[in-house]
C-alpha cells in the first residue's frame, strides 16, 4: 500500500480557517506527491467498487497501486486501467460518517512525464451513467500539455471535493475546465498562466468555496468565469490586463464578498456582477473600458470603486440594485447620460459624485429616490452642463 496519513478520528469537517474549506476529519490524508506522481482518495463502499482511469505519459509506461493494495504495472500511455476495489481490504481507512471507507490510490511512471489523465473512464462492468468515487485528487507534474478530464457525459464527478495540483503546465485552452463539477469545494495551486481563456472555468460549481490565487495574465476573457458558483467566498487574480470581455463573469455568485486583482481587466463589463448579493465593495476595472451596461446591477453593493468613466459610452443600468444599496460612488469623469437613482446616497455622497463628473453637453443625470434628493446642491452638476432629474 502507498504510505498514508490519517486524520484525527471523527467524521465532521473541522472549522475552516477564514471561511475556507477543510475536508472531513475521518478521511485518510493524501501524501505529498513527487514529480509525475498522482494520489487519489477513493470512496470505497460495501459492494461493487468498479473504477477506471487512464494516464498519458511522454515516454515509457505508468503503474497504479489501487486502494486495496492490488497493483498493475507497465501500462501503456493512454490505456485504461480498471479495478473492483475490495471493501474488505485491511489497508482502507475506517468507516466514515458518510457511509464509506476511504482508500489511497498511487500512480507513478517509469520515467516519462505525465502529460494528461482521465479520471472519468467507465468501468467495463458498468453499462449506465455513473459517478466516479474520487474524493481528492493530488498530483505533481511539470509537463502537462493536455487538459485533464475529471468528468464526462457518462461519468460524473459529484464526490470530488478537492483538486490539488503541484507544478506547471502548458495547457493553452482551459475554458470550461471545471464547469458543472458540483462536488468541487477546493481548488489548490492550479496553473492558469498559459491559458488564453477563462470562459466558464467554474460555471455551475455550486459548492466551490476556496480557490488559490489565479494567474490570468494570458486570459482574453472571463465570460461566465464563475457564474453560479454560488458558494465561492473570495477570489484573487494576478494581472487581467488582457481581458477584453467579462460578461456574466461573477453573476449569481451569492456568497462572494471579495474580488481582487493586481492589474484590472480592460473589459466590457456587461452584467459582470449581475445578481451578486454578497460583494459590497467590487474592484475597479481599467480606464479603457467603454461599456458598463449593468456592470454593478447587483444587490448588496455599497461602494462603487474609483473607476475612470471618461471613456464610457454606455452606463445603462450600471448600478441598478433592487434594494438600493449604494451609499457612495467614487467613480470619476462620466460624460454620458446615466442614473444613480433609488440608492442610499446622502448629500455629501451625492455632491462628492457630482464634483467628480466630467463636463456634460446637456446629458442627463438622474438622482431621484436618494436621501439627498431635494437637499443637495444640483448646481454642481448643472454648472458642468448636466441636466439633473432629482
- Encode pLDDT of 142-182 as tens digits: 999 999 999 999 999 999 999 999 999 999 999 999 999 99
Question: What pLDDT sits at residue 307?
Answer: 87
Spatial separation of the C-alpha atoms in residues 297 and 270, rounded to whole Å? 9
**SS3 of 79-129:** CEEEEECCCCCCCCCCCCCCCCEEEEEEEEECCCCEEEEEEEECCCCCCCC
**SS3 of 26-52:** CCEECCCCCCCEEEEEEEECCCCCEEE
Question: What pLDDT sits at residue 5?
Answer: 43
The segments of the chain whose pLDDT lies below 50 read 1, 3-18
Question: What pLDDT sits at residue 324?
Answer: 86
pTM equals: 0.85
Residue closest to 57 by CA, chosen among 72, 38, 70: 38
What are 232-267's pLDDT values in tens digits?
999 999 999 899 888 888 888 989 888 888 888 877
Question: What pLDDT sits at residue 322?
Answer: 67
Place of cell 437613482: 341
Question: What pLDDT sits at residue 66?
Answer: 98
Question: What pLDDT sits at residue 19?
Answer: 59
**Per-residue CA distances from 346 to 278, 309, 327, 357, 371 (Å):** 23, 22, 7, 17, 5
Reported residue count of the chain is 390
Residue 309 C-beta-side C-alpha neighbours within 13 Å: 28
DSSP reduced 3-state for 226: coil
Amino acid at each position: 500500500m502507498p504510505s498514508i496519513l490519517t486524520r484525527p478520528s471523527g467524521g465532521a469537517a473541522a472549522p475552516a480557517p477564514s471561511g475556507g474549506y477543510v475536508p472531513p476529519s475521518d478521511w485518510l490524508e493524501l501524501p505529498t506527491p513527487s514529480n509525475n506522481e498522482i494520489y487519489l482518495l477513493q470512496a470505497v463502499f460495501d459492494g461493487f467498487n468498479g473504477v477506471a482511469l487512464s494516464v498519458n505519459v511522454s515516454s515509457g509506461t505508468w503503474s497504479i497501486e489501487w486502494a486495496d493494495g492490488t497493483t498493475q504495472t507497465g501500462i501503456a500511455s493512454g490505456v485504461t486501467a480498471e479495478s473492483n476495489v475490495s471493501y474488505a481490504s485491511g489497508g482502507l481507512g475506517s468507516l466514515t460518517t458518510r457511509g464509506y471507507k476511504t482508500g489511497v490510490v498511487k500512480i507513478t511512471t517509469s520515467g516519462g512525464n505525465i502529460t494528461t489523465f482521465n479520471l472519468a473512464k467507465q468501468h467495463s462492468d458498468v453499462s449506465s451513467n455513473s459517478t466516479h468515487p474520487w474524493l481528492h485528487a493530488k498530483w505533481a507534474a511539470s509537463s502537462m500539455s493536455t487538459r485533464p478530464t475529471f468528468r464526462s457525459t457518462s461519468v460524473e464527478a459529484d464526490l470530488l471535493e478537492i483538486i490539488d495540483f503541484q507544478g506547471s503546465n502548458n495547457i493553452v485552452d482551459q475554458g470550461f475546465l471545471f464547469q458543472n463539477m458540483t462536488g468541487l469545494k477546493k481548488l489548490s495551486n492550479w496553473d492558469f498562466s498559459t491559458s488564453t481563456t477563462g470562459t466558464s472555468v467554474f460555471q455551475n460549481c455550486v459548492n466551490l468555496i476556496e480557490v488559490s490565487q489565479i494567474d490570468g495574465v494570458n486570459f482574453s476573457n472571463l465570460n461566465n468565469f464563475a457564474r453560479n458558483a454560488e458558494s465561492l467566498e473570495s477570489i484573487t487574480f494576478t494581472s487581467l490586463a488582457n481581458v477584453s470581455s467579462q460578461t456574466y463573469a461573477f453573476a449569481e455568485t451569492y456568497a462572494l464578498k471579495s474580488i481582487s486583482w493586481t492589474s484590472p481587466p480592460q473589459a466590457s463589463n456587461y452584467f459582470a456582477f449581475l445578481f451578486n448579493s454578497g460583494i459590497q465593495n467590487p474592484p475597479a476595472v481599467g480606464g479603457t473600458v467603454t461599456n458598463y451596461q449593468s456592470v454593478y446591477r447587483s444587490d448588496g453593493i455599497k461602494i462603487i470603486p474609483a473607476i475612470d468613466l471618461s471613456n464610457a459610452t454606455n452606463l445603462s443600468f450600471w448600478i441598478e440594485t433592487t434594494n438600493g444599496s449604494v451609499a457612495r460612488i467614487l467613480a470619476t469623469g462620466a460624460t454620458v447620460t446615466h442614473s444613480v437613482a433609488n440608492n442610499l446616497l446622502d448629500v455629501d455622497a451625492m455632491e462628492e459624485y457630482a464634483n467628480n463628473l466630467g463636463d456634460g453637453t446637456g446629458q442627463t443625470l438622474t438622482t431621484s429616490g436618494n436621501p439627498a434628493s431635494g437637499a443637495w446642491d444640483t448646481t454642481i452638476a448643472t454648472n458642468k452642463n448636466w441636466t439633473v432629474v432629482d
